[in-house]
Structure 1
Amino acid sequence: MNRSSNDGLSYWMQTADLPSFAPLTGSAQADAAVIGSGIVGLSTAWELARAGLRVVVLEADRLAGGVTGHTTGKLTALHTAVYDTLRTEHSEDVARRYAASQSASLRHVFDVAAELGIDCELEERPAYTYGRDPDGVAALRAEAGAARAAGLNASFVTATGLPFPVAGAVKVEDQAQFHPLKYLRGLAASIVAFGGSIHEHTRVTTLDHGDPCRLTTDSGAAVSARHIVVATHHPVFDHALLAARLTQHRDLVIAGPLPAGLDPQGVYITEEGGKRSVRTAPLDDGGRLLIVTGEAFAPGEGEDTEAGYARLQAWTEQHFPGFTVTHRWAAQDNSVTDTLPLIGRLPGGGKNVYVATGFAGWGMTGGVLAGTILASLVSGEEDPWGGLYDPARLGSALRSAPELLKAQWDTGKHFVKDRLDALGDGTDGPVGSLRPGEGTVVRLGGKPCAVHRDDRGGLHAVSAVCTHLGCLVAFNNAERTWECPCHGSRFGIDGGILQGPALEPLEQLDPGEL
């Protein structure tokens, strides 16, 4: 697969025409400060600004340039096989409340878009969870029954709009898809119109609890606010170690014009074959853009991402003849060991610090839901969903203890084993054998060193020790980034932070010492 000018740039980022906002300088005061400008951050900020609160949004990079800017933009309450899991591992009531809350969030997008006049390519489509393996039909039937019992307009079907046969599928009517960044562009404009402020390239590095709380940025600017919302995907300032309940995954995405007559007229997903997600989006010329996601992997595991892209492209070309890739990017998300996202007060963060995370790849409805829940809590109102997503919940966390222990075993394994590998003889390979575009972890003065050779043959070296909790990073050969396998932090070749929870860049080293 050839690298193109759109490599790594999501279609949403390329076509949203987002405004720019100046970094924060000096000091500011607000009723609420929101850290992060993805769909959670801007949804929460908009709800609060609309309610009359003074709101400041602080974004470390570009507006909506993190997880939200790399999503697939599905709006659905059908989340693969979540309902059979919820009623089995929790209760029928939990499954019903989950379905009701996710469905309400989907409709809320329609209401907000209509209220603000946002043209965000919002289209109603049925959603499908499908399977091609006959052995999986019983599970699909069970999920259809569980989703229907939870209140969704769900059914088991054997015919879909896909250009290939399936063994069966769960179908839910009245779901949707949209251009997520055009929607957030509308929210951002409304936040400013309500008197709120947004600041890009403003990384928050410290949070001091109190009344008011105080945030300090990497430039020395500061914000005092009574309420703080941590909307950073993976939570920074995680005093309660919510990270112990989160597992990371990353998905590859390719997109290109859809040949005429092949629009499947729905949003689709299967967990088979490393995951495959399919949807389309409208193009300016009246055609459709096909967006296919899959090849899920854990960041920092040393996955050959170029090979993953090749497999994804081959699958798409096989099933959609004439398809050509024009964009490719990757999306990252995290999942909670007991299935339910974490939305509410941050445990150990004081009474006025809030968090939302763990959407398991369904952050569009989940992010809008988080905005309504957090705005209610900040305003002193009751959680409209009765604490279903409360990060401090204990019962479900105890029930998910095996998954929790496995997640922590994986983290501990990387912390110890990767360090031994990097410091022993079995390193990833000598620097001299690195070809242009490759990276590896070696020893430099007895310390783990992450080395990359660029396309011109030059070497770049940074510390291989993640600044979050000290695990060793690994190289992503498609995105040319360093990724932490423990908590998903991602860094550029120069060590700069691309994705948290790390708050400090990797230390730059002298490649001349190699």
Structure 2
Amino acid sequence: MSTESLNHRSYWADSAPATGTTTFPALREDSADVVVVGGGIVGLLTAWELTRRGADVVLVEAGRIASAVSGRTSAKVTALHGFTYSSLAERHDEATAELYARSQVDALRHLAGVVDTLDADVGWERVPAYSYVESARELPRLQAEERAAAAAGLPVRAVTEVDLPFPVAGALRLDDQYQFHPRRFLLALAADLARRGVRIYENSRVVKLHDGAVGRVATADGATVTAPDVVVATHYPVFDRSGAFARLSVRREVVLAGSLPVDRAPGGMYLTFEDRTRSMRCAPLPDPGRRLLVVTGEKFTPGEEDAAGAFHRLTDWARVRFPGVRLSHRWATQDAFSTDGLPLVGRLNPATRHVLLATGFAGWGMSGGVMAARLLTDYLTGRPRPPWSRIYDPRRLPGFSEAGELLGHQAFVAKHFVGDRLHSDPPLAELAPGEGAVVEYEGERHAAYREPDGRVRLLSARCTHLGCLVRFDDAEREWACPCHGSRFAVDGSVLHGPATRPLEAREAPAEPFEGPGGGP
């Protein structure tokens, strides 16, 4: 079975549809104590925390809640984050690594309490987490992580025996971690919020922010919400005044899901950074004789690499390493990485006291999202903040170790802002049905997509965020901006921020495409 024949929707979306469970209207006008922008784990959980402390909350989501990044995750909830602790100790210091570990452990404990309070079937399971290497050459790196994680307070232990169907050179194990069905959890959270009086609005893309004594956000349709405080929980900030775009890079990662016989299914959550990252875990299925296998990997920059190739490489790997797996779903997810390796959670910038944001979780959005929701709630309710709040403050100054990352990120953006305009483009006539490319047409560069019937759809090739040239993602048939990760449908509509406006339509040639045989 090829990857094209697999279901291209997230397994979590297919197995927990929102229809009949949660349906929320589009925003008209409203006001509240706090408006939360974004309906993923950070936004929903922040609204939940604030409501339990007596705040009147409005939540506004551009599409459907729990359908963007939080609905496409692997849903590992763990404090063992690959080789994060040795990296933090090296780039910052051991105290920073310890605060990071304490914040993640606190998030796990708190999320377990939230799940217990909701009393919903969210596939919650307690399992061990592993970071492993297959090559003996990588053992020194694994040993450095063991020392750093232990110094940070995590009870990790080195092991060589794991329940994977292939050998490893070594692994770190951390017990009593969690995994769950992310959409079931988030939909249960949204239903509980609605019962508690939170007004949730869907299909309401926020495009403007007024930051004054009273904040105000406005949607593309002109609807507004006013509130003294605003939380921007949109994965990648959709407002540039934070300056976060200068400190964030974006990576995309492909995901496969399928079933295994229960006796062949690993019982833990696994991660290695070898082979362009490989991450896997299993989950319950309606058939008690089988388990769902979820495999992720092949990190790449949106619009920079061949997504179809990433799907094929991961598929081949999964079928070799897990013989007998019946793959059923394929999709992709997206993560934001800060230049100093730490999320940004807190005040938007030094000049504001009323707008907060959370971003930069580097693939650990489940535990990081819980941490962020708790920290944002402490900011907004005036409660004493935990000691780790300082390492996440967006207003922190870049350190010496961050300088190279900052310069590299800005050079990468400059390459796509300027350098892409110097490349030659394919002729429009060479574009086959179902294909897209930036092309030269009537002396200008356009994002061109040829429909299956041969008609051409032309759009501006400039991303509406900061003007970089978009590229066509052949695997997902979407336009992607390599600079900051915005994604657009073939009709130009926004699928993923930070862009909030669609690609502008251009007049296209009316004649249909004539292929080699003379017909469409």
TM-score, normalised to structure 2, is 0.95
Task: Tell me what 1:225 maps to.
Answer: 227
Task: Tell me what 2:311 maps to.
Answer: 309
Give 1:457 shift. 2.9
Q: Say whether 1:12 aligns with 2:12.
A: yes
CA 58–397 in structure 1, closer or farther in 2 if over 3 Å, else same: farther
- Count residues with an aligned counterpart: 506
Task: Tell me what 2:509 maps to.
Answer: 512
Matches within 5 A, 1:99-248: 99-248=101-250
Q: Say whether 1:439 aligns with 2:436.
A: yes
Q: Which stretches in structure 2 are left out of the alignment for 5+ residues?
A: 512-520
Give 1:213 shift. 0.6
Please give the alpha-carbon distance, in whole angstroms, between the structure 1 residues aligned to 2:362 and 2:381.
Answer: 27
Q: What is the identity percentage for the equivalent residue pairs of Structure 1 and Structure 2?
A: 48
Task: Tell me what 2:458 maps to.
Answer: 461
**What's the secondary structure of 1:343's corresponding residue?**
strand
Please give the alpha-carbon distance, in whole angstroms, between the structure 1 residues aligned to 2:39 and 2:80.
Answer: 25
Pick the aligned partner of 1:372 from 361, 374, 377.
374
Task: Tell me what 1:292 maps to.
Answer: 295
**What's the secondary structure of 1:356's corresponding residue?**
strand
Q: Deviations over 1:389-442 (max 9, x none)?
A: 100111x54431111110111001110011121xxxx21x22222223221111
Q: Deviations over 1:456-502 (max 9, x none)?
A: 33322211100000000001101000000100000000000000000
Moved more, 341-350 or 76-85: 341-350
Contact 2:22 2:190 in 1 (8 A): no
| Alignment-mate amino acid for residue 477 of structure 1 | D
CA 497–348 in structure 1, closer or farther in 2 if over 3 Å, else same: farther
Moved more, 272-281 or 342-351: 342-351
Please give the alpha-carbon distance, in whole angstroms, between the structure 1 residues aligned to 2:474 and 2:419.
Answer: 22
| Alignment-mate amino acid for residue 166 of structure 1 | V
Pick the aligned partner of 1:27 from 26, 29, 37.
29
Matches within 5 A, 1:343-358: 343-347=345-349, 350-358=352-360
**What's the secondary structure of 1:40's corresponding residue?**
helix
**What's the secondary structure of 2:4's corresponding residue?**
coil
| Alignment-mate amino acid for residue 114 of structure 1 | D
Please give the alpha-carbon distance, in whole angstroms, between the structure 1 residues aligned to 2:53 and 2:171.
Answer: 42
Give 1:25 shift. 4.1
Task: Tell me what 2:255 maps to.
Answer: 253
Q: Deviations over 1:205-244 (max 9, x none)?
A: 1111112111111111110001100000110112131111
Please give the alpha-carbon distance, in whole angstroms, between the structure 2 residues aligned to 1:503 and 1:281.
Answer: 35
Moved more, 252-261 or 43-52: 252-261
Please give the alpha-carbon distance, in whole angstroms, between the structure 2 residues aligned to 1:140 and 1:2.
Answer: 33
**What's the secondary structure of 1:249's corresponding residue?**
strand
**What's the secondary structure of 1:355's corresponding residue?**
strand
Give 1:20 shift. 3.6
Moved more, 380-389 or 121-130: 380-389
Please give the alpha-carbon distance, in whole angstroms, between the structure 2 residues aligned to 1:194 and 1:349.
Answer: 33
| Alignment-mate amino acid for residue 223 of structure 1 | V
TM-score, normalised to structure 1, is 0.96
CA RMSD of aligned residues (A): 1.4
Pick the aligned partner of 2:273 from 271, 276, 301.
271
Give 1:511 shift. 2.1
Task: Tell me what 2:40 maps to.
Answer: 38
CA 348–489 in structure 1, closer or farther in 2 if over 3 Å, else same: farther
Please give the alpha-carbon distance, in whole angstroms, between the structure 2 residues aligned to 1:127 and 1:80.
Answer: 10
